[in-house]
Every structure is written in structure tokens, then in C-alpha cells.
Structure 1
Amino acid sequence: MVPHLTTALTGPLKELETRILKAQPKIEHWFRSQWTEHAAPFYASVDLRNAGFKLAPVDTNLFPGGFNNLSQDFLPLAIQAATVAVEKACPEARGVLLIPENHTRNTFYLQNVAAIHGILRQAGLNVRVGSLLPEITEPTPIDLPNGKQLVLEPISRRGNRLVVGEDFSPCVVLLNNDLSGGIPDILKNIEQNLLPPPFAGWSTRRKTKHFSAYNDVCNEFAELIGIDPWLINPYFAHVGELDFQARQGEDVLADTVSELLNRIKAKYQEYGITHDPYVVVKADAGTYGMGVMTVKDPSEVTGLNRKQRNKMSVVKEGLEVNDVIIQEGVHTFETVNEAVAEPVVYMMDHFVVGGFYRVHTGRGVDENLNAPGMHFVPLAFENPCNSPDCDGNPDIAPNRFYAYGVVARLALLAASRELEAMNEEFGD
């Protein structure tokens, strides 16, 4: 279920990890029962932060980029998981139409698309990459930095089916586009299996809804293994009706930041933690690390200068920010070559298929690492095994990553429940 990996941290977290390791049979049984009741998303990535005293997800992406940053050691796991995921969507599937972001100039992102293409192809599927860009009117090859080539093709619609070329119209359409700019008409009401569902895109999805679902999952899991849910769950709050340019809602934002910081301080006192608490203010919808600021005092969110207001007011695809999630900041005490790092765990269906460290040489332990200047270091197998060493110390690398895989799968389960609720609201 979860591979043995080398990790960057050799420090604390032993009590939490020990609890998780001792409860491993109970945990895996619980996950199996959950996946009989809830359908896992096709794929996801989860950003984790490990503070030593706390291990928690800070973001869950349902249209993950970065498959090109995974170690090649993971390829067999990814191929097997992709096979399961496609079979669930369409048991007779012979092909997949893959629709990426409109980033034709971002060749690093396109390497991710090529990696997904390769995984699906090795799973025994015919794969074509269809672009939503209007300028793609014929098959367009793009040379990638790693020496490979990706061919983008125009998508057409025949009735309620998407087609590429003369007759390529598979039963599965896989989105690697988070639809921040809204759902294009060409994707609406198609009869093919569209994965993830378009309402999972950032035009409708909200981070506060995800972490509300995660809060419920955490409470159930914490009761299962007998831990304080705060150890794996960041506090959060929501503030709406904001206008950063007009400075509308600043006072409410500052008051909410103050309340959340006080809640965190109380927990720090309970556990004897001496680090300074902080929160992260993020756009409630959006990705790519846009619309994010770290705050240690409520005064920092009032009287923002023009540069700060511009940064917070608009995110990807020009999506205006009127709602934010204020999330408890989780320090990261992992490092790679003395640079601050955070693990990112990748899953397909309900299987962990790999991960990497997001590393930033110019950021601190309490700062957002998803920013220009970051780089990625693949996690690598330490031993060719798919289970933790239950008799080993909790802080040895395989067991540390088992804990990461457990927390990432909790976030995945929360995303599954989140999508079920969204389907009732936005589904056909």
C-alpha cells in the first residue's frame, strides 16, 4: 500500500508515529472499509508539513502536476494504480483522452503531462493529448527538456462525445486542467467519463469545504487510534466578502486571524511548544501558490501596500479573490542539503504511488515553499517493500513515510467525501 522510502527528517514525531505504527492493522482495515463506501478520486497530490510535534496536510490538489518529479522506482506502482482507476471508470476502456492545462510554453509542466501519458500507455491504454487552446488546430509536436516529445491535438465534439482526430473517442476523458477559468462549453454534458468531475475545478471547489471534510475524517481517525486530532489537523477559518483592492473586510480578517492565533497558542502551551505560532492566509480557490501570505500578527493583514493587495486580490486565470481560508501554519523541519523542504505525496485511486520533496533555498521553516525558486527532489525507494517495518523504530525512514502515506490518504478520503457533497450540489 505504501512503499519504503528515504526521507529527509531524522528528528522527532516519534510518539505520533509510534501510535500510527502500532495501529497499522486497524488503520488499514479502516481504510479498506472507507473505500468500500467512498470512491477515491482518480488521482491527487497532498502537500504535507512536518513540524516534529505535528504532521498535517496543508493542500490537496485534485489535478496534480509534477508526475515527472517522481522517482522512476515508483513507475510499477503508478501503472498498477492507474489500471485500477481506469477499470473502475470504464471496465471496457481501451483508450484515454488526456486534457492538460493551457501551458504550451511551460515545458516543465508538459513533462508532467508526458509522464501521465507514459503511465497510462504502459497500463495498456491508447492515449492522446487533446488541447483546449483555440490555436491548436492540428497535431502539434512540442519538444521537451528531457528529450521527449509531446503531441497536442485539437478536440472536437460530436454530439455528446469528445473526439480527437478522425475517430478517437474513448470512454474515459482525464483532466489535468483545474478549470480555474470555469468549465468550457465543450466539456459540459458529455456522455464520456470525465475525471475528475469538472465541478472539482477551482471555479466551484473551495479549500474550506475540503478542510471541513478533512476535519470530520480526522476526528474519526483520531478516535480510532486514540490521538488528539490536532496533531494531524491544522485549524482553519473562513472569511468572505473581501475586496483587497478596496480594503473591504480588513477588520474582520484581522479579528479572525487573532482568534485563530489564540487557539493555536493555547495548543502550543498545552504541548509545551516554544515556537512562534503563525497562520497562512490563502485564496479559498486556486493553486500554484498564488494568493498566499504568512501572518504572525493580526496587524499584518491591515493596511496592506499596493504590491501586497495585488498579490492577494487575483490568482490563476484572473480569478478574483473575495474569500480566503485562514489556515494554521505548520512549520516544516525537514531539510534537503540544508534547504527547507516539504514532502508531497502522490496517489492514484486509493494507492500511494510516490512523492517528492518541494525544496526552497530562499524560504524559512514557516513560509510557503510553493513559490518561484523552488525545486524538487524525488523520494527514492530504500527497500523494495510495500509495507512499514512494524518492528523497527518509528523514526526509521520507511516508517516515517508510512505515517506520511496515512495522513495523505486521510486527505484523499476527505477529498472523496468533499466530491460526493459537491456532486449533490453541482452534479448532473
Structure 2
Amino acid sequence: MPVPCLTTALTGPLRELETRILNAQPQIEHWFRSQWTQSTPPFYGSVDLRNSGFKLAPVDMNLFPGGFNNLSQDFLPLAVQATQSALEKICPEARSVLLVPENHTRNTFYLRNVAALKHILELAGLKVRLGSLSPEVTAPTVLELGDGETLTIEPLVRHGHRVSLGDDFNPCVVLLNNDLSAGVPEILRNVDQAVLPPLHGGWAVRRKSNHFAAYDQVAHEFAELIGIDPWFINPLFNGCKGLDFHQRQGEEALAEVVDQMLGKIAAKYREHKIDAKPFVIVKADAGTYGMGIMSVKDAREVIGLNRKQRNKMAVIKEGQEVSEVIVQEGVYTFEQVNEAVAEPVVYMIDRYVVGGFYRVHTGRGVDENLNAPGMHFVPLSFESPCLPDRKGSPDCPPNRFYAYGVVARLALLAGAVELDNTDPLRG
């Protein structure tokens, strides 16, 4: 199955990293095939990438992607094929799937994502119904998407060791598009059905530091395969626990971790003769939606935060308090869409890239988090042919985006390793 190449307005000098990836393409694909015999890919995932020109690295990997509506329709068939591939391994006889969305049913942007995901599943040959974890949903409820489309959500019901919707609907697969930030609900524990992603992949349990520890292993093995410094595809990171931003507890410890991280980045910049100012991203170790994040260039910036800054860092989605953060190497983004700062987000189903989009923010800089209010999305269309152009220059669009797909798949593989490592049932 081909890996799509995503189009971009970015042009730049020939990149050694892209050259090495292109030259090693047969070995890379063989390596990925062998890795997937050892690790089961997550059902789906999305990866936020940053391309600084000297470094191409993932900065986040989401196991509950919420932007299927932002993907180009050009490669819908690939998404359908990838879904069928995933289902054949999980439940070959699957005829129906229970899709569990997030609780914020008034967010029409998110609901359009649910509708797009439902469409992919239906085209893959499944009957799809939506079951809600929200206590507010007590009966079948029709939601307007604002474009003439509607979705019907129904309350989840538990019968013995299975969840359903209170009638004869009996799916063998429960697909979560709810990241379980508020905790693992009892209704989903110990069911006979396949629950995807697994419950320990939700943010009540998952930690970004675990993911990037797994990515560190994957990146080192891959870097050895193609002969590069793993740092070129791997953001440095460290964790810090015991924080209370409201009470200003742990500020000094956090400042020390930030200072050490800035020193390590500066050393790598000197080693590779990079003229840029190091920065780090401090973000909640659990959680998503761009909450609880700050960009820092000096350790003193995390001491004596004002009330607004403390409030921003202290609480994330579902009102969860932040006591643990990951201090991650900041990766500049030198990509632009219509002169606004942008970063590519690559979507995968099973082990296949199925599309992507640019997250664009007109009010943010090249060293800031773009997952913030005011962002917008530009769907990535696809080049033809979709495989790398072995006769083209390393930074022509098909080859640049082959490299993007490779690094995104490395993060997906790290997600698979992470889920294995943190599986509570693993002996």
C-alpha cells in the first residue's frame, strides 16, 4: 500500500537527512515490516511534526485523533483500505462498531471529525452507531453539524461483559474517539469486546514521557539503520513531578530541569554548528488540546509565574490538575502557509499514512505551540505518484513528504511499543 506524499509551499536547500532517508528507502520499508511483526500498531493515531530545516521531529503523538474532517478526500480509499486491514487482525468477522466520541457534543468542529470517521468506517463495510459516556445523554439525541448533516448519539448500556446501546446492536469492536481524560469509566472495564485504543492508552493513565522514552529507543535504532545522529529526528526531554502551579510548589525544581535541558540543546547546537537560540516546551505530561503548555528560553521564566500563567498551566481538559510536566526540546518550525507559521500533522490508520493537514496560526511564532485558540487547518492534498521520486531531488515534494511519513510512522511505532510497555496485563 503506498505512502502518500503531502504537498507544501515550503522550499529549501537539499537536506542531508532527506537524502539519507531517500537513499535508504528499501531498507527502511523492510525495517518497518519487521518491526510490525513484533508490535501491533495502534488502530489509529496522529503525529504533530516540526521541521526546523536542521531537525525533523515529532513533538506529540495522539492515540485519539480528532481531525479526520481536515483530511483531503483524495485518499479516502486508502483510509478505507487501512481500516479494513486493521479490522482483519482484530475481529475478522466484524460487522458493526460502537464509536464512542468525546463528551463535548456542542463542538461542531469536533462532531464533523466524528462524522468523517464514521464515514470511513461505513465505507469499510461496518454498521456504525455512536455511544456516549456523557451522563447528559439519557436517550437517543440528534446533533446538528451546521452543514445539513446530523449525528445521532445514544447512551451506552452494559449487559454482563458487553457494552451496547440497549437493543440488539452487538458490536465486537468498541472504537474510542474519547481520550478518557476524566478517568476510565467503569462501564468499559473488563468487557469481552475489543476496545481500541486500549483503556490504558487514555490520558487518565498515559504519560507523554512514556511515549518519548519509547520513541527514544525507536529513533536510536532507526538512526543506526540509516547512519545519522538520532538527535536529528528525536527531541530531548525530561520530566518533572510534584508540581502545584497554584501554590507555586516545585518551581525551583522545574527551573533546574529547564536549565539542564537548555544546556543539552545548546551543546547539540554547538556540535552541529547551528545558529539558533535553544528553547523548551513545558507541557502537562498527560492531556491534549494544547492546554497546559508554555514556551521557555530561560529557566527564570518558570519562577514567579503571574496568576494568568499559573492558571493556564495548572489545569487541563476535564478540569484535571497538573502535577507532572514533560520538559521537551523545542523544535522550530520553518514551514509557512500564506506567510503564517504552520506545522504538518500526519494521520495514520493501522500502519499506513492516510493523510494529513497543516495546523496554521497567524498569531504565533516559529518557537511557539500552534495548538491554540486562533489556529486553523489547511488540508494536505497529495502528490502523484505517492511513493518517493527516486529520480527527483531529496527536497522535492514527494521526497520531503516521504520523509515526513517515515518520521510519523516512527512515532506510531513508538506508540505501539509504549502501549506494550504500559499494558497492565503484561506479565
TM-score range, shorter chain: over 0.9
Q: Is the 8 A contact 1:8 1:336 kept in 2?
A: yes
User: In the alignment, what sits opposite 2:56?
Assistant: 55
Output the CA distance in 2 between the equivalents of 1:166 and 1:197: 25
Output the CA distance in 2 between the equivalents of 1:389 and 1:163: 48
How do 1:277-316 and structure 2 match up within 5 A? 277-316=278-317
User: In the alignment, what sits opposite 1:180?
Assistant: 181
Give the letter aligned to residue 406 of structure 1.
Answer: V
Output the CA distance in 2 between the equivalents of 1:168 and 1:333: 49
User: In the alignment, what sits opposite 2:36?
Assistant: 35
How do 1:111-150 and structure 2 match up within 5 A? 111-150=112-151
Q: How many residues align?
A: 426
User: In the alignment, what sits opposite 1:402?
Assistant: 402
Q: Which runs of 5+ in 1 are unaligned?
A: none
Cα displacement (A) at 1:179: 0.2
Output the CA distance in 1 between the equivalents of 2:118 and 2:48: 23
Distance 1:297 1:87, change over 3 A: same
Residues 238-273 of structure 1: per-residue CA shift (max 9 Å, x gap):
111111111111111111111110111111111121
Output the CA distance in 1 between the equivalents of 2:426 and 2:72: 36
User: In the alignment, what sits opposite 1:422?
Assistant: 422
- Higher mean Cα deviation, 45-54 or 249-258? 249-258
Q: Which runs of 5+ in 2 are unaligned?
A: none
Residues 93-141 of structure 1: per-residue CA shift (max 9 Å, x gap):
0010000000111011000000010000000110001111122222211
Q: Is the 8 A contact 1:108 1:145 kept in 2?
A: no
Output the CA distance in 2 between the equivalents of 1:177 and 1:4: 29
Give the letter aligned to residue 273 of structure 1.
Answer: I
Output the CA distance in 1 between the equivalents of 2:337 and 2:147: 23
Output the CA distance in 1 between the equivalents of 2:244 and 2:144: 42
How do 1:65-144 and structure 2 match up within 5 A? 65-144=66-145
Give the letter aligned to residue 256 of structure 1.
Answer: V
User: In the alignment, what sits opposite 1:327?
Assistant: 328
- Give the secondary structure class of the aligned counterpart of 1:310: helix
TM-score, structure 1 as length reference: 0.98
Residues 207-240 of structure 1: per-residue CA shift (max 9 Å, x gap):
0000000000000000000000000000001111
- Give the secondary structure class of the aligned counterpart of 1:224: helix
- Give the secondary structure class of the aligned counterpart of 1:345: strand
Give the letter aligned to residue 353 of structure 1.
Answer: V
Output the CA distance in 2 between the equivalents of 1:321 and 1:5: 36
Distance 1:12 1:212, change over 3 A: farther
Output the CA distance in 2 between the equivalents of 1:4 and 1:246: 48
Cα displacement (A) at 1:386: 3.2
The answer to whether structure 1 residue 267 and structure 2 residue 288 are counterparts is no
The answer to whether structure 1 residue 46 and structure 2 residue 52 are counterparts is no
Cα displacement (A) at 1:427: 6.3
Structure 1 residue runs of 4 or more that deviate by more than 2 Å after TM superposition: 425-428
Cα displacement (A) at 1:90: 0.4
The answer to whether structure 1 residue 206 and structure 2 residue 187 are counterparts is no
User: In the alignment, what sits opposite 1:364?
Assistant: 365
- Give the secondary structure class of the aligned counterpart of 1:366: coil
User: In the alignment, what sits opposite 2:392?
Assistant: 392
Cα displacement (A) at 1:4: 2.6
Give the letter aligned to residue 214 of structure 1.
Answer: Y
- Higher mean Cα deviation, 368-377 or 140-149? 140-149
Output the CA distance in 2 between the equivalents of 1:251 and 1:4: 45
Cα displacement (A) at 1:5: 2.5
- Give the secondary structure class of the aligned counterpart of 1:280: strand
Output the CA distance in 1 between the equivalents of 2:366 and 2:108: 29
Distance 1:426 1:8, change over 3 A: farther
Cα displacement (A) at 1:35: 0.3
Give the letter aligned to residue 267 of structure 2.
Answer: A
Output the CA distance in 2 between the equivalents of 1:113 and 1:178: 13
Cα displacement (A) at 1:321: 0.6
TM-score, structure 2 as length reference: 0.98
Q: Is the 8 A contact 1:8 1:335 kept in 2?
A: yes
Residues 332-374 of structure 1: per-residue CA shift (max 9 Å, x gap):
0000000000000000000000000000000000000000000
Output the CA distance in 1 between the equivalents of 2:8 and 2:153: 36
- Give the secondary structure class of the aligned counterpart of 1:260: helix
Q: Is the 8 A contact 1:13 1:53 kept in 2?
A: no
Cα displacement (A) at 1:154: 1.4
Output the CA distance in 2 between the equivalents of 1:359 and 1:150: 28
Cα displacement (A) at 1:146: 3.1
Output the CA distance in 1 between the equivalents of 2:329 and 2:148: 42
Q: Is the 8 A contact 1:13 1:52 kept in 2?
A: no
Q: Is the 8 A contact 1:9 1:334 kept in 2?
A: yes
Q: Percent of aligned positions with the same letter in both sequences?
A: 69
User: In the alignment, what sits opposite 2:167?
Assistant: 166
Distance 1:49 1:12, change over 3 A: farther
Q: Is the 8 A contact 2:6 2:356 kept in 1?
A: no
User: In the alignment, what sits opposite 1:151?
Assistant: 152
Q: Is the 8 A contact 1:131 1:155 kept in 2?
A: yes
Cα displacement (A) at 1:150: 0.9
- Higher mean Cα deviation, 80-89 or 400-409? 80-89
Output the CA distance in 1 between the equivalents of 2:5 and 2:326: 34
Q: Is the 8 A contact 1:160 1:191 kept in 2?
A: yes
Q: Is the 8 A contact 1:67 1:115 kept in 2?
A: yes
- Higher mean Cα deviation, 4-13 or 94-103? 4-13
Cα displacement (A) at 1:382: 2.2
Output the CA distance in 1 between the equivalents of 2:202 and 2:313: 20
Q: Is the 8 A contact 2:18 2:394 kept in 1?
A: yes
Cα displacement (A) at 1:165: 4.1
RMSD in angstroms over aligned alpha carbons? 1.1
Cα displacement (A) at 1:13: 5.9
Q: Is the 8 A contact 2:237 2:261 kept in 1?
A: yes
Output the CA distance in 2 between the equivalents of 1:99 and 1:320: 24
Give the letter aligned to residue 288 of structure 2.
Answer: T
Cα displacement (A) at 1:163: 1.1
- Give the secondary structure class of the aligned counterpart of 2:309: helix
Give the letter aligned to residue 403 of structure 1.
Answer: A
